[in-house]
Structure 1
């Protein structure tokens, strides 16, 4: 890897750490850069998963104020994230490299629709609950657990736009603010990346130079992303999610 390639990977790590903390989809920045340095697709995917762990952890720390009172929720959903993450990591080494590429744009598009409609749907659900005298499950219930488990299988496989899918699912099934859900999303992403990376350490090839550069860059980006993301009002954050998600769909379709 040349010095210019190293600088490009480092810059991609900062960008990915920033955007992952605010929205998600940072892999759509780092993955093409890693491929451009000459790494094979699977090696690039594994190196990316390892390198972005510090960014996820950094972003979660930056959102620690919004995590207050969410301990039981995050612990419960982290179980789904861990199971899904390790399953996705196993699939990465078993399935053809392009196995998920057909369905990924569809998943991201559906998630964006849910993010856009979430305020209206949440109000309708709340009215229905008031009429029936029921209350929302604080952790989203079994439906969210299963949904996040499946999303985490994809996350362990590739990770691109998994954060958008997480926010969409939680926004539909948990009665809480978007910023607090975004904070929980950062923890879940860290769990998925960590369990997948531990698996990869023992069974897959990766590039240590790329991992270190991404790790340092994403940790810096995670702090920056938390500072920016926490200041965004819900409408602006929702709009940013839609913009980034749309760009992600276009990039995935053009690959």
Structure 2
């Protein structure tokens, strides 16, 4: 890897950690950077999942107060996310050639829309009055679906999961966000373990994303307390939609 590539990917990881710590859509920054680095779409996605797994280190360190005393409830959910994260990883690799390239523009577009309308999604979940209960089968089925999606691609999984947790529990937003980080970290970790055996990972690129992302996820909340976070999300979301359109047109060529 050239020095420019290393610097670019570390900066992309930093940006992903920055955005992931506020908007929950780190992949909208890191995945396009890996495509620009020259990796094929599937390998870029695998490498991206490997890199962003390290972001959990920063989030766990900062949310220990929220998680204290709740691990007895979290472990079964962690198990679901690890099992179905592997399933998502297998689905990615086992899909027919070209299928991921065909679906990824729609995934990016959906993630971008969720990024732009994040508050509306969260407010919708709160207005619903938590009519579903976390002990019911619908809760676990939805968790399994989100975990599978997280292992397959992952962008917007954080927004979807946070909304679902807020809809089905009486927990505070701070705790729900902390639980989201734990569960998605488990899904990414399990998917990465699967990718080690069933796919190719560009380890150098993943390391660059990881290093930048750990720093970004640590300093992100501090910086963005003073920064106009909503306009930044709008810009990133619109860029994501532009990327989705570009990839869609390329898939037709």
Query: Do the two structures share a fold, i.e. TM-score over 0.5?
Result: yes
Which residue among 136, 142, 150 is the counterpart of 1:155?
150
Give per-residue Cα distances to partners, 1:157-183, cap 9 Å, x unaligned.
Answer: 111111001101111111111111001
* Alignment check: 8 A CA contact 1:21 1:56 kept: no
Within a 5 Å distance, the mapping from 1:48-197 to structure 2 comes to 48-95=48-95, 96-98=99-101, 100-101=103-104, 104=107, 105=109, 112=118, 113-122=120-129, 125=131, 137=133, 139=134, 141-197=136-192
Distance 1:251 1:188, change over 3 A: farther
* Alignment check: 8 A CA contact 2:28 2:240 kept: no
TM-score (ref. length: structure 1): 0.81
Which residue among 199, 207, 222 is the counterpart of 1:204?
199
Give per-residue Cα distances to partners, 1:157-214, cap 9 Å, x unaligned.
Answer: 1111110011011111111111110011111111011000001112211212101111
Aligned equivalents of 1:122 and 1:242: distance in 2?
Answer: 27
> In structure 2, what is the equivalent of residue 47 of structure 1?
47
* Alignment check: 8 A CA contact 1:6 1:213 kept: yes
> In structure 2, what is the equivalent of residue 222 of structure 1?
217
| Secondary structure, counterpart of 1:22 in structure 2 | coil
Give per-residue Cα distances to partners, 1:13-68, cap 9 Å, x unaligned.
Answer: 11112222333111110111111111111111111111111112321221222222
* Alignment check: 8 A CA contact 1:53 1:194 kept: yes
* Alignment check: 8 A CA contact 2:150 2:157 kept: yes
Aligned equivalents of 1:81 and 1:25: distance in 2?
Answer: 18
Aligned equivalents of 1:103 and 1:87: distance in 2?
Answer: 21
Distance 1:245 1:188, change over 3 A: farther
Q: By how many angstroms is 1:222 displaced?
A: 2.1
Distance 1:177 1:244, change over 3 A: farther
* Alignment check: 8 A CA contact 1:28 1:160 kept: yes
| Secondary structure, counterpart of 1:122 in structure 2 | coil
| Secondary structure, counterpart of 2:159 in structure 1 | helix
How many residues are treated as equivalent by the alignment? 238
Question: Could you list the runs of 5+ residues in structure 2 that have no partner in the other structure?
Answer: 248-253
Aligned equivalents of 2:169 and 2:32: distance in 1?
Answer: 34
* Alignment check: 8 A CA contact 1:21 1:186 kept: no
TM-score (ref. length: structure 2): 0.81
* Alignment check: 8 A CA contact 1:23 1:240 kept: no
RMSD: 3.0
Question: Could you list the runs of 5+ residues in structure 1 that have no partner in the other structure?
Answer: 126-135
